[in-house]
Amino acid sequence: MRSFATVKKTRQLNHDTFLLCLKSEKIASCAEAGQFVNLKCCDGLDAYLRRPISIHSVNRECNTFDIVFQVRGKGTSLLSRIRPGDEIDVIGPLGRGFTLDHSHRHIVVAGGGIGIFPLFQLLKDHTAAKKTAVLGFRSKDFVVLEDEFKKHSTELLIATDDGSYGIKGFVTDVLEKIIQKEKPDMVYFCGPEVMMKTGVKLLQKYNIPCEVSLEQRMGCGIGACLVCVCKTRKDNDWDYSRICADGPVFKGEDIIFD
Ligand SMILES: Cc1cc2nc3c(=O)[nH]c(=O)nc-3n(C[C@H](O)[C@H](O)[C@H](O)COP(=O)(O)OP(=O)(O)OC[C@H]3O[C@@H](n4cnc5c(N)ncnc54)[C@H](O)[C@@H]3O)c2cc1C
Ligand code: FES
């Protein structure tokens, strides 16, 4: 599954967020919404471990896929300096993506921060007649990809923590208002753990199924090192699941949030 992808395009979306368009027939031909790639950020020993980044968008005709990342530390800082024509050592597509049930007529994607990126391909691939996107950001300066999400959803609601853009408040507050007006068939979450924990609880109250995409520091990215485990329900007990191989997407009801 290891291969080299050629950087076709780079785009800076705001002060610390970058989009890379990568050419790889191997990945673009089979990538599913919610899966990720594990990238080597440089040739040397700097940022030795690969960094996991979600697949944001796939163009199957052109054999390309996009990733979007926020600069956090050494690895993502090195990635932000990559230029068109460079090659990146990539393993992927990895993990279990979102489940798409095309009998669903109304779906909601609810994302916060870097969690909005994997929800984009899901909106592109799902055939539901109504697709609502609720995206949360810290403030106006962090809002990215608004036009792109608008294009692939029937309704886009943006929430900011400080009210500097869109609705003031949390994604889960906006979601509850949507549910009170019209119950969706399915909700997909990706974002900070506290948002997903609140979201899953909320949906259980209204008896609506959901999936969550979890994020965790990773080692191997392929299920071997057990660095990335989370607690999941198994029968009447619980067990550890590997976010990289058993996830990152899980049924909301299966996750035991700490
Ligand atoms: C399945 C998966 C998909 C991801 N998709 C995306 C994406 O689409 N876009 C994006 O911007 N980021 C994504 N991430 C997070 C991304 O992998 C980390 O931000 C990145 O590895 C940080 O590397 P770094 O070398 O820049 O920072 P480091 O120097 O390694 O760390 C900088 C800071 O970030 C924290 N950190 C590092 N990795 C993680 C992590 N995985 N979860 C929480 N905190 C972390 C560290 O504790 C530290 O405080 C994803 C993570 C996973 C597991
Ligand atoms: S990162 Fe090694 S098992 Fe998940």
What pLDDT shows up at residue 113?
95
What pLDDT shows up at residue 92?
94
238 and 189 share a domain?
A: no
Return phi, psi of residue 142, to 5°. -100, -5
50 and 104 share a domain?
A: no
- Rounded distance between C-alpha atoms, residue 149 and residue 73, angstroms: 27
Choose which residue among 55, 72, 249 to substitute to test ligand 1 binding: the one with the highest number of ligand atoms within 8 A of its C-beta: 72
Q: Which of 62, 58, 66, 69 is nearest to 18 (CA)?
A: 69
Choose which residue among 214, 225, 232, 246 to substitute to test ligand 2 binding: the one with the highest number of ligand atoms within 8 A of its C-beta: 225
Widest distance between CA atoms in the chain: 54
What pLDDT shows up at residue 141?
95
89 and 141 share a domain?
A: no
Q: Which of 235, 238, 188 is nearest to 213 (CA)?
A: 188
pTM of the model: 0.96
Domain containing 22 — which CATH number?
A: 2.40.30.10
Other CB atoms within 10 A of residue 113 CB: 18
pLDDT in tens, 49-60: 899 999 999 999
78 and 122 share a domain?
A: no
pLDDT in tens, 129-163: 999 999 999 999 999 999 999 999 999 999 999 99
What pLDDT shows up at residue 42?
80
Q: Which of 60, 94, 128 is the last residue of a domain?
A: 94
Question: Which ligand does the CA of 70 lie closest to?
Answer: 1
115 and 191 share a domain?
A: yes
What pLDDT shows up at residue 1?
76
CA dihedral 184, 181, 203, 141 (to 10 degrees): 90
| pLDDT above 90 for 32 | yes
103 and 205 share a domain?
A: yes
What pLDDT shows up at residue 2?
86
Residues 6+ apart with CB under 8 A from 60: 28, 29
Q: Which residue has the tokens 């002060």?
A: 15
- Rounded distance between C-alpha atoms, residue 199 and residue 16, angstroms: 27
205 and 104 share a domain?
A: yes
Please tell me the distance between residue 197's alpha carbon and the centre of ligand 1 in angstroms. 19
Q: What is the DSSP string of 206-220?
A: HT--EEEE-----SS
Which ligand 2 atom is nearest residue 228's CA?
4
Please give the DSSP secondary-structure letter assigned to residue 255: B
Q: Which of 46, 79, 94 is the last residue of a domain?
A: 94
110 and 172 share a domain?
A: yes
Count of structural domains within the chain? 3
Which ligand 1 atom is nearest residue 94's CA?
1
Q: Which of 79, 84, 70 is nearest to 15 (CA)?
A: 70
For residue 29, give its domain range. 2-94
235 and 200 share a domain?
A: no
Residue ranges lining ligand 2, Cβ < 6 Å: 218-221, 223-228, 242, 244
Which ligand 1 atom is nearest residue 74's CA?
25
Q: Which of 63, 94, 125 is the last residue of a domain?
A: 94
198 and 226 share a domain?
A: no
- Rounded distance between C-alpha atoms, residue 23 and residue 90, angstroms: 11
| pLDDT above 80 for 47 | no
Residue ranges lining ligand 1, Cβ < 6 Å: 36, 47, 51-54, 68-70, 72-76, 114, 117, 215-218, 248
192 and 228 share a domain?
A: no
pLDDT category, 64, cuts 50, 70, 90?
A: very high
Between strands 106-112 and 130-137, the pairing is parallel
Question: Which ligand does the CA of 221 lie closest to?
Answer: 2
Domain containing 234 — which CATH number?
A: 2.10.240.10
Could you tell me if 80 and 66 are in contact, meaning their C-beta atoms sit under 8 angstroms apart? no
143 and 204 share a domain?
A: yes
Choose which residue among 13, 51, 194 to substitute to test ligand 1 binding: the one with the highest number of ligand atoms within 8 A of its C-beta: 51
